[in-house]
A and B are shown apart, each in its own frame.
Chain A
Amino acid sequence: MGRGLACGFAALALAIAYYAAAAQLPSSFLSDDVGADGLPRLLAVALGVLGLLAALRAVLARTAPAGAPPEGGGVAVHARALGLIALGAAYAQLTPSLGYMAGTIVFLFVVAAYSGQRPSLPLAAISGAGGVVLWLVFVKLLGVAMPSGMLAPLLG
């Protein structure tokens, strides 16, 4: 299946799901004539029509969509890219318990290693220094209430 066709079908599927969700929106006695579901329904129909159009165009042209050249690569390349998202998600999960400073030090080390840097003492030192600098900037300078986690007794 070509990318244009995939895009068209994805838009169509999203349009159907969004329309279904819009149809279930509760009504309110405060509502106006258009209603909370007015624009969503219109958008769903518009997306559906555009999805069909994109699919039809892809079938007729039998070529990839115009515009910016899409990046190529196989499943392994995409999996590697998505791995970065997984690291971000892991950071979000672990930081509340690890604390911002410790979580960020680990995060810097793991992401740099994942990006091709050989795990080493200098990498650990730079990650450690980076975590402390970011903690100083966000917590001490900007006053953001970052999670203290397990280091809470030490950091006050």
Chain B
Amino acid sequence: MNDLHTAWTALTSGWAIPGAVAGVVWGIFGGALPGISPSIAMALLLPFTYGLDPVTAIVLLASVYVGAEYGGSIPAILIRTPGTNSAAATVLDGFEMNRQGRAGEALGISLVSGLVGGLFGLAVLVLFTEPLARVALAFTPPAYFALGMLGLSVIASLSSGSLVLGLIAAVVGLMIATVGTDPVSGVPRFTFGSPDLLGGVRPILVMVGLFAVSELMVQVSEPAWARASTRDTRLKLPDWTTWKRMFRPHAIGAVIGTIEGVTPGAGGTIAAFMSYNEARRWSRHPEEFGHGSIEGVAAPEAANNVVTATALVPLLSLGIPGSNSAAVLLGGFLIHGLSPGPMLFERNADVVYGLYGGLLVANIAMLLVGLVILSPCIWLVNRPKPYLLAFIFALIVSGVYSIDQSFFDLGLVLAAGALGYAMRWLGMPYLPMVLGVVLGGLVESNYRRSLVLSGGDHAIFVQDPVALGLLAGAVLMLAVSLYREMRAVAKAREEDSER
């Protein structure tokens, strides 16, 4: 009760509540723009926090994070462009629902799933920060390697019934991830003398190219393209039946989002993909995934919004920023002379409880802002198609340029778009490639760090209990996926022979 009073006092004594609402609005706006990541949206506001009181400043920045992670799903659903890395998994079924004239339903599901995920994450943050901080400390390089392998193990089930092509896509994704400076020796790899490639290829560039640019290419080549659609443009919140169907994917997203969130460096992208995969595995309608599944939107959206709160666990309790966004938030703390870590709860309880209260306000504001802006957004993407295509393309090139003020990045996106178009023509799935690009660096750098630690002894991966558990999980997931793939092939052959 005393803690609640502290939170309420901290929230109401300054401008924290308006700060939370403003942060969410800014975050949704930034997250919805391709190229403006949550951390960039937060960093843009950082200079303005100097003059604010500490609670308002921290709440403002954390609310931007909440809004941006949700905002990424809006272009993912409406224009097949993930605004953030973690929204890539939402593209799959969200955009398919939009294509079927169910954009309002998809946006409604992503909105409430984001709210459920955000509130669950907040509850975890408030109640379990201390014990979960120990989980974060248990993650050593072998465990990170194993976590990456667990992420890669979902490739088999993301390969849309074409395992060999899915594996080819994944290997190409891993190859893209090797471009840049070698994580151990610092040797430049596959940069061909270009300084632009020394920092590697950002996953968001590959995603925007594969998903959005390739879609524009397909659309512009279709003869019936120029007609404007006359679909329903209203936001549709889930009814009771849909809520019941979303329970399981929400639970899956909550569990995976919690684990990934408290693990520094793991982040919402892995959480979203793994949740999508597990939601399909445990669904009563797995055949709907990839074809406009409600659960396929609910699971990743719940997961990446859980992460917005649980990613603060290692920051608040240990002072470890586990992501770029957490690092910007750490900057906000430091600007105001606050040092996140165990002593923060003792010395600055008002800031911590104010942050908790601010996150609650931010999640509620996210729902209200979403209710206001989503119908106009749907209306906007139902304008005559040539205008729409031109504006989407202009938004993409502007957003991509704004990341590093680099036209080279724009070239990479266009190349990824052409690659995505070719992959469509070949019937090759995208997602394994995206996973390869996202997880390649994590897997390689931690594999090699582990071997440096062990003097080259691979036994380190089975001696570490966390790594062993995660690797066992990866093998199990791979085995189940392979078994299902083989069973599906055998069933198809049986049906062919019966005909």
The chain A residue sitting closest to B409, CB to CB, is A92
* A3-B425, A18-B175, A21-B190 known; A112+B387 contact, CB < 8 A: yes
- Tell me whether B393 is interfacial, beta carbon within 8 Å: yes
Contact of A142 among B160, B217, B386, B402 (CB under 8 A): B402
Interface pair B220/A142, CB less than 8 Å apart: no
- Residue from A54, A77, A80, A144 in contact with B405 in the complex, judged by beta carbons closer than 8 Å: A144
B387 nearest in chain A by CB position: A112
Q: How far apart are the CA atoms of A46 and B440 in the complex, in Å?
A: 15
Contact of B387 with A134 in the complex, beta carbons under 8 Å: no
The verdict on A47 contacting chain B, using a C-beta distance below 8 Å, is yes
Q: A39-B444, A67-B162, A108-B391 are in contact. Are A33 and B185 (CB under 8 A)?
A: no
Could you tell me the distance between the alpha carbons of A69 and B36 in the complex, rounded to whole angstroms? 33
B120 within 8 A of A: no
Asked whether B216 is an interface residue with its Cβ less than 8 Å from the other chain, the reply is: yes
Please report which residues of chain A, range 75-96, place their CB below 8 angstroms from some CB of chain B when the two chains form the complex: 77-78, 80-85, 87-89, 91-93, 95-96
- Determine if A65 and B387 form an interchain contact, defined as CB atoms under 8 angstroms apart: no
B184 at the interface (CB under 8 A from A): yes
Shortest beta-carbon distance from A73 to chain B in Å: 7
B226 part of interface (Cβ distance < 8 Å) = yes
Indicate if A151 sits at the interface (CB-CB under 8 A): no
Considering only residues 193-225 of chain B, those with a C-beta below 8 Å from chain A are: 213, 216-221, 225
Check B397 for interface membership: any CB of A closer than 8 A. yes
Within 8 A of B (CB), among A1-51: 3, 6-7, 11, 14, 18, 21-22, 25-28, 30-40, 43, 46-47, 50-51
B413 to chain A, nearest CB (A): 8
Q: Is the Cβ of A47 less than 8 Å from the Cβ of B175?
A: yes
* Contacting residues, chain B, for A91 (C-beta < 8 A): 397, 410
- CB distance A65 to B402 under 8 Å? no
Q: How many residues of B contact A (CB 8 A)?
A: 68
Find out whether the CB atom of A88 lies under 8 angstroms from the CB atom of B393. Answer: yes
A-side contacts of B164, CB under 8 Å: 50, 53-54, 57
Q: Do residues B418 and A69 form an inter-chain contact, with CB atoms below 8 A?
A: no
**Chain A 118-149, CB within 8 Å of chain B: the 1/0 string?**
00000000110011001001100011111000
Contacting residues, chain A, for B456 (C-beta < 8 A): 33
Bound-state CA distance A98–B296 (Å) is 43
Please measure, in the bound complex, the distance between the C-alpha atom of A11 and the C-alpha atom of B255, giving whole angstroms.
37
**Chain B 165-179 interface 0/1 with A at a Cβ cutoff of 8 Å (1 = within):** 101100110110010
User: What is the minimal beta-carbon distance from A120 to any residue of chain B, in angstroms?
Assistant: 11
What residues of A have a CB within 8 angstroms of the CB of B219 in the complex? 115
Chain A interface extent, by class: 35 or more
Contact with A along B32-73 (1 / 0, CB 8 A): 010010000000100000000000000000000000000000
Chain A residues in 8 Å Cβ range of B190: 18, 21, 40
What's the Cα separation between A14 and B447 when bound, in Å?
A: 25
**In the complex, what's the smallest C-beta–C-beta distance from A36 to chain B, in angstroms?**
4
A67 touches B427 (CB 8 A): yes
**Shortest Cβ distance from A149 into chain B, in angstroms?**
13
A–B complex contacts, Cβ < 8 Å, 7 sampled? A37-B189, A54-B164, A81-B221, A84-B213, A95-B407, A104-B394, A137-B33
Q: Given contact pairs A47-B171, A107-B393, enumerate 5 new A-B contacts (beta carbons under 8 Å).
A: A33-B456, A84-B217, A112-B387, A127-B390, A130-B394
Q: Which residues of B contact A (CB under 8 A)?
A: 30, 33, 36, 44, 159-162, 164-165, 167-168, 171-172, 174-175, 178, 182, 184-187, 189-190, 213, 216-221, 225-226, 384-387, 389-391, 393-395, 397-398, 401-402, 405, 407, 410-411, 413-414, 417-418, 421, 424-429, 444, 447-448, 451-452, 456
Residues of A within 8 A of B (CB): 3, 6-7, 11, 14, 18, 21-22, 25-28, 30-40, 43, 46-47, 50-51, 53-54, 57, 64-71, 73, 77-78, 80-85, 87-89, 91-93, 95-96, 100, 104, 107-109, 111-117, 126-127, 130-131, 134, 137-138, 142-146
